[in-house]
Chains A and B, each alone.
Chain A
Amino acid sequence: MEQENPQDQSHEHRSDTILLPASTPWPMVFALGLALLITGMVTHWVVSVLGLVLVLRSIFGWFFDMFPHEQHVAVPIQAGVIEITSTRTTRSQLPVGVDHRKLLPIETFSITAGLKGGIIGGIAMIVPAALFGLIRYHSVWYAVNLLAAGGFVHWAGESDAFLAQFHLHGLLAATAIHGLTSILIGLLYGAMLPMFPRKPILTAGFVAPLLWTGILYSALGVISPILNARIDWLWFVISQIAFGLVCGFVVNLQVKVRTPQFRALPFSVRAGIHSDQSHKEDDSQ
């Protein structure tokens, strides 16, 4: 923060006063008039008439507060010195240097990396889901309709044969649900993977899908009782792992972009002349 240059100071400062809008009763009178105008609807018309009078008078008064010139009052400045100080200091505990502050992350994935990962992972997930339908019910549409059934309450009592048939509404609903969820999870992968740089395959391919499966296992009865009643958890885990491996792979393929923190690094580091030691030390710990 800087003090204003004395040469830039306006006339009002030099004269030791500041012009502020003058007090006025008309906004309050206008509000009272409006309230009375309306109150007449539930009491007596005379109240409305009184309100109308106040509204008209206050409009008149307010108008002449503003025209031809807005009413101002000059408030004198009562100057004194205020010291902006702190009893705390950073100096005694943390020596100022290149690694004085954590500057992480200096690189991350762009949003499009998460989008791509989510879309391609979502496509990959279709393969084991379709296999499940083919092997168990001889139809690729079973898994599609089962996912869509969460939105169609009247499908709760339908047979497996019904779910194995093609239904346009089911396909549209399942596409919307699967597409939206895949993109959201893909975005989450894009945000999270830089936080776990060492074992991306384990994190993206197994840990995250198993955690997600665990959450859904406990919550699916509430979210979609129909899906919960018919789901095959083994095939579900396989499809989740397929999503995780492909999405994680696609996200990791993307080029990382620099975060705003990168700009805070010394020029020599940004120019590639020196390496960012603090960042490497953090990674090695």
Chain B
Amino acid sequence: MATPVLEAIDQTQAPPQGPPRPNVIYTWLTTVDHKKIGLMYIAYALVFLLVGGVEAILMRIQLAVPNNHFISPQVFNQLFTMHGTTMVFFVGMPILFGFGNYLVPLMIGARDMAFPRLNAFSFWVSAFAGLLLYFSYFGASGLYAAGSAPDVGWFAYAPLTAKVFSPGHSTDYWTLAVFLSGVGSIGTALNIVTTILCMRCKGMKMSRMPLLPWLYLVMASLVFVAVSPLTAAQIMLTLDRYIGSHFFDTQAGGSAVLWMHFFWIFGHPEVYVLVLPAFAFVNEIVPVFSRKAMFGYPAMVAASVSIGFISLSVWAHHMFTVGLGAAGNTFFVFATMVISVPTGIKIFNWLATIWGGKVIFATPMMFCVGFLFQFLIAGLTGIMLSAAPFDWQLGNSYFVVAHFHYVLVGSILFAIFGAFYYWYPKVTGKMMSETLGKWHFWLFLIGFHLTFDFMHVPGLLGMPRRIYTYEAGRGWGGWNLIVGIGAIFQVAGLLFFVYNLVRSYYRGKEAGHDPWDAWTLEWAVPSPPPVYNFAIEPTVNSRRPLWDLKHPEDPDSDYE
């Protein structure tokens, strides 16, 4: 039985959509609206996802069979450098900042971000950083003559980055692009933190805030702490390369290990910068499709904050093979293992939310279930690698590559896909096709497992990462072929996704303002939301304000 409630939060309907105006490009270039900036972040990240994906495919073709010379070693070095840099700095962070930009103000009942102009600047500077990185293919005076891209790996270890080993400008492109990207990231993080702390609607105490803004708060705080050392290191490296300082010049009293510390004190928290928003998406999707409130909200918040703190103390587990000494090894082994405690709390809470619920296996939920399973596996291989003796054996092998792709693809990308299917109706007013969504899910799932499950094996057999090719008879050939075949399935799944995005925009069913019968504030405004979000500032009394409106006989506010 329907329970109509006329006491609406917002009395605004979507503005009528007319034909595109001539100044539409100028409108997007000059916008300071958080929703448009969020969409630009996402579109820009999708373009780079395509580019990074093509780079991955080229590498997999090269490695599919032994003694292959499909591409040259120089191009291969550029490909893994550009693939890693692109996926972390120009796909992962922008797409998650994009969702945050779009959703955070809507979910906390605000009309925009705290600093709208800084928000626009942050997006554009990140976008130009990506263009600068790829301009290296055309404009650089690099190691292999004009037009060469960076080729020093996405972590750019010293002393390989020294001018003597990397002449020309290819490494400078990498350094400057990552530096610029960092400026944008810090700007957006500042905006997210300020917006969440200062612009929540009436009644939304921190203890009533949805989990998505909570996790974005932790993530943005991590960005401050993690990106700053990287930015400092980029400046030091630039000084080394341009004016001959010796921060990382081992032959002149500098330290290559110093770079490693700088890089990984950014690099490991960065994993959590990427995965915390993925957790946030799952936190919103799982309860709605289980028809239950999130199990253990305070524990989820505490676990998220704990992860934020602990993630700052684990960076040197990337450096076990360097030789840290007994005390260093012991500390970083235990710190890394301890992080499994709050992470485990999250997994148990998601399971407890699903347990006993009336589960609806719509596409967003299916991606979240995939996330849950794969994140667990990624965590288990992470614990294996956290043990220093194990890491000494398998550090820098394909086992490590398989592990972190389980995190980045199996966990983060799956959650992002779930988020696309969940919030697409809010953004466009149209539903995505469930049939195409299921095709996308199953093809991508099969492809993911073919690629990354079997990628562990050549790692265990001793195949080093970043290797250009290998001899037949090492026992790696068959496994690499399977890994390559998996990539084909993933591409097929992605094609369904892109087709679904475009087709649904024009031919999708009308979504209405609340197609999932959800409970957070963004579903109380029209789809797509008006530019001002809320005509009247909402007031909330619980963590699920729309539940309270839909079920006045049994509101959450009686229990919180």
Binding site for B on A (CB under 8 A): 1-4, 9, 13, 18, 20-28, 30-32, 34-35, 38-39, 41-43, 62, 65, 75, 77-92, 96, 100-101, 103, 150-154, 173, 177, 180, 184, 222-223, 225, 260-261, 264
> Residue B373 at the A interface, CB < 8 A?
no
What distance in Å separates the Cβ of A234 from its nearest Cβ neighbour in chain B?
A: 25
Determine the residue in chain A with the shortest Cβ distance to B142. Answer: A42
* Complex Cα–Cα for A39 and B30 (A): 23
What distance in Å separates the Cβ of B295 from its nearest Cβ neighbour in chain A?
A: 11
What distance in Å separates the Cβ of B144 from its nearest Cβ neighbour in chain A?
A: 15
* Complex Cα–Cα for A264 and B180 (A): 51
- Judging by beta carbons under 8 Å apart, are B5 and A27 in contact? no
- Judging by beta carbons under 8 Å apart, are B341 and A184 in contact? yes
- Judging by beta carbons under 8 Å apart, are B551 and A21 in contact? no
* Complex Cα–Cα for A59 and B125 (A): 15
- Could you list 11 A-B pairs, sorted by A, with CB under 8 Å? A1-B9, A1-B548, A1-B549, A32-B124, A35-B128, A43-B139, A75-B531, A80-B11, A86-B3, A153-B329, A225-B389
With a cutoff of 8 Å between Cβ atoms, the chain A residues found around residue B116 in the complex are 21
- Judging by beta carbons under 8 Å apart, are B172 and A42 in contact? yes
* Complex Cα–Cα for A90 and B292 (A): 12
Determine the residue in chain A with the shortest Cβ distance to B544. Answer: A1
With a cutoff of 8 Å between Cβ atoms, the chain A residues found around residue B329 in the complex are 151, 153
Q: Quick one: which of B3, B117, B387 contacts A89, CB cutoff 8 A?
A: B3
What distance in Å separates the Cβ of A263 from its nearest Cβ neighbour in chain B?
A: 9
Binding site for A on B (CB under 8 A): 1-13, 15, 27, 29-33, 111-112, 116-118, 120-121, 123-125, 127-129, 131-132, 135-136, 139-141, 169, 172-173, 176, 179-180, 183-184, 203, 238, 242, 291, 298, 326-327, 329-330, 333-334, 338, 341, 384, 387, 389-390, 513-514, 517, 524-526, 530-532, 535-541, 545-546, 548-551, 553-554, 558-560
- Judging by beta carbons under 8 Å apart, are B172 and A88 in contact? no
With a cutoff of 8 Å between Cβ atoms, the chain B residues found around residue A177 in the complex are 330, 334
- Judging by beta carbons under 8 Å apart, are A9 and B536 in contact? yes
Q: Quick one: which of A13, A25, A41, A89 contacts B535, CB cutoff 8 A?
A: A13
* Complex Cα–Cα for A225 and B329 (A): 14
* Complex Cα–Cα for A177 and B169 (A): 48
With a cutoff of 8 Å between Cβ atoms, the chain A residues found around residue B5 in the complex are 83-85
What distance in Å separates the Cβ of B338 from its nearest Cβ neighbour in chain A?
A: 8
- Judging by beta carbons under 8 Å apart, are B30 and A91 in contact? no
With a cutoff of 8 Å between Cβ atoms, the chain A residues found around residue B141 in the complex are 42
With a cutoff of 8 Å between Cβ atoms, the chain B residues found around residue A173 in the complex are 326-327, 330
With a cutoff of 8 Å between Cβ atoms, the chain B residues found around residue A88 in the complex are 291, 517
- Judging by beta carbons under 8 Å apart, are B180 and A85 in contact? no
With a cutoff of 8 Å between Cβ atoms, the chain A residues found around residue B546 in the complex are 1, 84
Q: Quick one: which of A34, A65, A154 contacts B125, CB cutoff 8 A?
A: A34
Determine the residue in chain A with the shortest Cβ distance to B5. Answer: A84
> Taking A39-B132, A39-B135, A89-B1 as contacts, is the C-beta distance between A24 and B541 under 8 angstroms?
no
- Judging by beta carbons under 8 Å apart, are B8 and A3 in contact? yes
* Complex Cα–Cα for A141 and B8 (A): 71
* Complex Cα–Cα for A184 and B135 (A): 51
Give me the 7 closest cross-chain CB pairs, A-B, nearest first: A151-B330, A31-B124, A35-B128, A80-B13, A27-B121, A27-B120, A86-B550
- Choose among A22, A35, A173 the residue with the greatest number of B CB atoms under 10 Å from its CB: A35
With a cutoff of 8 Å between Cβ atoms, the chain A residues found around residue B2 in the complex are 85-87, 89
- Judging by beta carbons under 8 Å apart, are B326 and A41 in contact? no
